[in-house]
Amino acid sequence: MNRAHDMRLPLADRLRIERTLWTLDSHLDDLPFRIKRARRREMRANLYAAAADVGTAEAVRRLGDLTTLAADYLAAEYGDRGPRPSYTMGAVWLITVHVVAGLVTEAGTAAFTAGVLAAEPRATGDFRWSGVPWFIDEATITLRGGEETAAVGGAWAPLVYLISVAALVVGGRLWRLLRWWRGRHAAAPHG
C-alpha cells in the first residue's frame, strides 16, 4: 500500500479506518500471525481505496458487522473444525513463567545474601533463608569471609509447576484439542 495515498485522507478518516482495522484484528486472534497480518494489510488497502471512492464512513459501513466478518475469515481458514491450539504460544507462556520464577529465585537469594552481608560484611557460616512461601522452598547460603561459596535449596514449590502447566494450557489454548479429537473420532467409521 502506498503511504502517500493514505495522506490524502483527513486524519480523522485515517484514525477511523485504523480503529476499524484494530477492532477486526482483535477478533482474528485465532489466525496465525502471518495470515492475520496479510488480512489486515489487505483490508487496509481496500478500506483506503473505498474511502477515496465513497467516503470513509460509507466504506466502513459497507464492511458490515466486524464480528461476522471475522467469523467468515476464521471459517475460511479453519473450516468446520475451528481454530487449532498454538503450541508455540503455549511454549512461550511456559518459558515466561520459568524465566520469571528463576528471576524471583535469584533476586530473593541475592537479597537475603545482601542482607546478611549488610549486618556482617565478613560473615562466615551457613545461613538459612526461608524462601518465599508457596513459591520457593528454603535455601541454605554458605558464606566464607563475606563471599558466597554455595547455595543449596531454593527450589521452586509445586505451585510454580502448576502455574507452568496452566500457562501452557491457557497460552496454547490446548482445550481446542478436545474439539479436534471429538471431531476426528466422530467421523471415524464404527464397525
Note the pLDDT tens digit of each residue in 98-125: 999 999 888 999 999 999 999 999 999 9
Report if pTM > 0.95.
no
Tell me: do 35 and 70 sit in the same domain.
Answer: yes
Q: Domain ends where: 46, 81, 116?
A: 81
Tell me: do 50 and 105 sit in the same domain.
Answer: no
| Residue 112 DSSP label | H
Residue 183 belongs to a domain: no
Note the pLDDT tens digit of each residue in 21-72: 999 988 887 788 888 899 999 999 999 999 999 999 999 999 999 988 988 8
Residue 87 belongs to a domain: no
Look-up of cell digits 520457593: 136
Q: Domain ends where: 52, 81, 110?
A: 81
Q: Strand, coil or helix: what is 10? A: coil
Tell me: do 9 and 76 sit in the same domain.
Answer: yes
Q: Strand, coil or helix: what is 105? A: helix
Amino acid letter, residue 149: T
Q: Is the pLDDT of residue 135 over 80?
A: yes
- Give helix 11-27 / helix 33-54 axis angle, nearest 10°: 150
Amino acid letter, residue 39: R
Tell me: do 104 and 134 sit in the same domain.
Answer: yes
pLDDT interval class at 187 (50, 70, 90): low
Q: What is the pLDDT of residue 80?
A: 63
Per this entry, what is the length of the chain? 191
Tell me: do 56 and 100 sit in the same domain.
Answer: no
Mean pLDDT of 75-91: 77
CA dihedral of residues 162, 31, 178, 81 (deg, nearest 10): 180
Residue 186 belongs to a domain: no
Tell me: do 49 and 102 sit in the same domain.
Answer: no
Residue 139 belongs to a domain: yes
Q: Which element (helix H / strand E) includes 152?
A: strand 147-153
Residue 28 belongs to a domain: yes
Tell me: do 75 and 112 sit in the same domain.
Answer: no
Q: Which three cell numbers stand for residue 52?
A: 477515496
Q: What is the pLDDT of residue 177?
A: 74
Tell me: do 69 and 127 sit in the same domain.
Answer: no
Residue 7 is part of which domain span? 3-81
More confident residue, 57 or 88: 57
Domain count along the chain: 2
Look-up of cell digits 484439542: 177
Q: What is the pLDDT of residue 111?
A: 92
